[in-house]
Chains A and B, each alone.
Chain A
């Protein structure tokens, strides 16, 4: 299929960004969205132009490094997946696809579609852990945890920290990211001994300047 891409290009954090339009041809519906961008980048490199910078690493939906706001939706027009798992069969020949970076005060743009998500690390450092040292731990089965709680905890723990919640939230709030960690620990006995929820949220407010509301 042939596509028209409107991609946000921005030299660095301070620079003024703008949309640039590109055409790609003969894209296989079986290729992934990022592979489609690879093909575009190969074209650009062959023309000795700067390829589009975007974050990606594992390309199997788990590392949380890929981002992209595609046609107005974080990770594009499919459900429950990341951009790297999005496949071109979700688009049609002749489509115009607008690709933007995550936009949030807390995620400054590094270059083109790449953003800085240190804010998430900072939140985790301010309390996203249970304070145990290595070693000297009682047997893993010494505290039974109900399957139900353990499963619910896992639901929350599965957050990949990609930032789509911030990108999508109309207030650019990181509340979902924070609450995923808080829920994971709150459901487990070892997590309940510490309550660091408030420090997490205070940190979030500083990082995102978001009012976390409405």
Chain B
């Protein structure tokens, strides 16, 4: 059993990254050509890493399951990206960005990683502008900022409501340039099926061509996973339909520890669920909370009338509205962090003040902002979001308040990595949302883009060299080695097994059931009883899956049902671990809210004495209990205290 070594460099927090870079090992240019790097995923982290490593001269192979690298789900990020530029001169600094991120994460993130993230944040903006990303500017021609949740300064750069799209297209253009230069080989519509370990090191991957169904192997001196989060374990989430945990889960089963799986983020402003046909939840950017005010009716009777459609929200008088975030958190108001805003919405709805037919919704109202700033300004700021909202709901948010409700959005948990972003398997690196490192128990808005690009552009290209420096003597391996052949055979056996179940149920029908179980018991609020129930339910769902699944079609051709099936197989196992992790963490922190542990005012109550650690779970084998390892977090530069967004 490996002992966790987070490899955090010594020295003062402010110097760690500089010191690390000064003393790390590098690979000389002639040797870079001899080293192959596999990168799975082409989102912000994957594409930026592939482009940067290609530029350096490594031989990169980049894989994505979509039809093009540009489709990765980073593209859907709306609001913005944080950086400590302090352009508005409102008192921002690297330290303050670091502090806000650690605090926002409810003191469950690794200090050294977060500081490094804040340190490199400024370079990301420079990089983006040089790539031709049309960030929003003011009339003087300089870059504009907006504010986001959990911060008292305006540090968020944005490109309308499409910041993720623009940043991803920037990284994609850098990647395209490297593909053209033949330093990167791109494999579209190709999905990772397993990771190949040779002599204890990650040396390659087995992939399935999604068009032909062909299974094949690729060698790499190192393997990088940039495969995003696992929110789709809930079936309904803001993730893309194809987003899945499988790559991370295969890494986990091959020896990478999985950290803090129960830390998932519930985004407070999504369009509420409409019916059981629903396939996906749509996010309305957090930036809307800059100008929108969140409320529910003050009186239950009004809420009931609204639910029945007898009362229109716009006709409800000001004094009959409860702006509950402004009431509860005067200092941050509508801009409290996401976990706080989500729970507050749930609290009001559970108490019977919710709107929508289901009672699961609150209002996000732009009336006062339109009165103050005019419709034009609001349209300029959020036009595309308002249009999107209108198309989906058939409501006009300029005239009637938006209806919103929290939904699963982001996974803070993920594969455990050390300071160098390497997992517990040597040579297997994990970047972006797929790892666990920077956001603790809750991520602040506009920090995901920052982390993905920081990892890909400015962290991994250094740290991976420290690993590769002593691999220059390792020749490229033949994928006919027994380790590769064995992994391929295992994949084929798995696919055969899935196809031969020949039961009665579709993949989605089981996935939906898993989703409901997860949302009800491992969602916004959790308790011991519910979590135990979830564990049992997931066990029976797993059995149902492996005995009653029906997949039409063949293995050796395009088969979307088969794809969904092997992804769901991993989600089922992950769901179990999430419940276990949530059950073991006898405290509330960030996105993990255990009803047993709350303050008198209903706020999350941490147990710093017993739980200031990242829970890194080791896979012990099929039907065996996971083994817990503690990556103890120490805060030397921040005073750990109860989060307070009231004053």
Chain A residues at the B interface, C-beta cutoff of 8 Å: 12, 28, 30-32, 34-35, 38-39, 42, 44-46, 48-51, 53, 55-65, 78, 80-81, 85-87, 89, 110-111, 114, 116-118, 120-121, 124-126, 128-135, 137-141, 143-147, 150-151, 153-154, 157-158, 160-161, 184-185, 187-188, 190-191
Query: Is there contact, CB below 8 Å, between A120 and B68?
Result: yes
The residues of B that contact A38 with a CB separation of less than 8 Å are 277, 279, 508
B-side interface residues, number (CB < 8 Å): 83
Does B3 sit within 8 A of A, measured CB to CB?
A: no
Chain B nearest CB from A4 CB (Å) reads 19
Interchain CB contact (< 8 A) of B283 among A60, A160, A184: A60
Query: Is there contact, CB below 8 Å, between A65 and B553?
Result: no
The residues of B that contact A34 with a CB separation of less than 8 Å are 279
Interchain CB contact (< 8 A) of A62 among B75, B126, B279, B550: B75
Interface centre among A58, A85, A185, A191 (most CB of B within 10 A): A58
The residues of A that contact B40 with a CB separation of less than 8 Å are none
Interchain CB contact (< 8 A) of A188 among B134, B387, B461, B506: B134
Interchain CB contact (< 8 A) of B68 among A46, A56, A117, A140: A117
Does B127 sit within 8 A of A, measured CB to CB?
A: yes
The residues of A that contact B172 with a CB separation of less than 8 Å are 124
List B130-144 residues whose CB lies under 8 Å from chain A. Answer: 130-143
Query: Is there contact, CB below 8 Å, between A46 and B506?
Result: yes
Query: Is there contact, CB below 8 Å, between B142 and A65?
Result: no
Chain B residues at the A interface, C-beta cutoff of 8 Å: 48, 51-52, 55, 66-73, 75-76, 85, 87, 123, 125-143, 159-160, 162, 165-166, 169, 172-174, 176-177, 179-180, 186, 188, 211, 238, 240-242, 274-275, 277-280, 282-283, 387-388, 391-392, 394, 457-458, 461, 504, 506, 508-509, 550, 552-553, 557-558, 560-561
The residues of B that contact A65 with a CB separation of less than 8 Å are 66-67, 71
Which B residue's beta carbon lies closest to that of A181?
A: B173
The residues of A that contact B461 with a CB separation of less than 8 Å are 134
The residues of A that contact B180 with a CB separation of less than 8 Å are 125-126
Query: Is there contact, CB below 8 Å, between A125 and B70?
Result: no
The residues of A that contact B76 with a CB separation of less than 8 Å are 58, 60, 62-63
Query: Is there contact, CB below 8 Å, between B558 and A150?
Result: no
Complex Cα–Cα for A80 and B51 (A): 32
Complex Cα–Cα for A129 and B179 (A): 12
Complex Cα–Cα for A118 and B557 (A): 19
**Shortest 4 CB-CB contacts between residues of A and residues of B:** A144-B141, A129-B173, A154-B134, A153-B134
The residues of A that contact B173 with a CB separation of less than 8 Å are 124, 128-130
Query: Is there contact, CB below 8 Å, between A60 and B282?
Result: yes
Query: Is there contact, CB below 8 Å, between A51 and B128?
Result: no
Complex Cα–Cα for A86 and B70 (A): 22
